[in-house]
Structure formats: structure tokens, C-alpha cells
């Protein structure tokens, strides 16, 4: 799962994540991937799962999904539509 994402280091990606209940996205150069911990995109560190934060998906310029958090998909998306 993280191998595909690691191949994009140095390339532009978009990370969609939840930050304290708010869906946020960041588009920048992927500079670091730490499996099971998080990513560094531009100058920002985003954990895969952390206190008040969870990456939902990461995709490239062609909208190909590089990572998706299936474990939280239903719960996160359903909470956004309340």
C-alpha cells in the first residue's frame, strides 16, 4: 500500500483529510512517506491517523488514488453529511 505512494515522492499530489471535523485538502509536492505514520506534503506533516486528524485519500494530478483509508471511509463520510 505504501510502496505506490512512495513512488510519488518529489511529485505533486493532493491529500484530502479531516482536521478536527473539517474536510481539508492540500496540494503540493510529496516530500516524505513514513509507512503507518504519515506523509510530508510541502512543508506540512499529516498523520494517517492522529488526534483530531485522519487522511481520507491521496491522489495524483490524474485523480488516480494512491492511498485511501477504507477503514474510516463510511464513518468519516457519513459524519460529514449530518
pLDDT of residue 73: 52
Tens-binned pLDDT, residue by residue, of the chain (82 aa): 788 999 999 999 999 999 999 999 999 999 999 999 999 999 999 999 988 899 999 999 999 999 998 765 555 454 444 3
What is the rounded distance in angstroms from the CA atom of residue 1 to the CA atom of residue 66?
A: 8
The whole-angstrom separation of Cα 10 and Cα 79 is: 33
> Residue 24: its pLDDT value, please?
94
Q: What is the DSSP string of 41-82?
A: ETTEEEESEETTEEEEEEE-TT--EEEE-GGGHHHHHHHHT-
Amino acid at each position: 500500500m505504501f510502496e505506490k505512494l512512495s513512488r510519488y515522492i518529489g511529485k505533486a499530489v493532493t491529500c484530502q483529510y479531516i482536521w478536527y471535523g473539517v474536510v481539508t485538502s492540500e496540494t503540493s509536492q510529496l516530500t516524505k512517506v513514513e509507512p503507518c505514520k504519515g506523509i510530508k506534503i510541502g512543508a506540512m506533516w499529516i498523520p494517517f491517523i492522529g488526534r483530531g486528524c485522519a487522511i481520507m485519500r491521496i491522489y495524483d494530478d490524474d485523480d488516480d488514488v494512491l492511498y485511501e483509508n477504507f477503514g474510516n471511509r463510511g464513518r468519516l463520510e457519513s459524519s460529514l453529511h449530518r
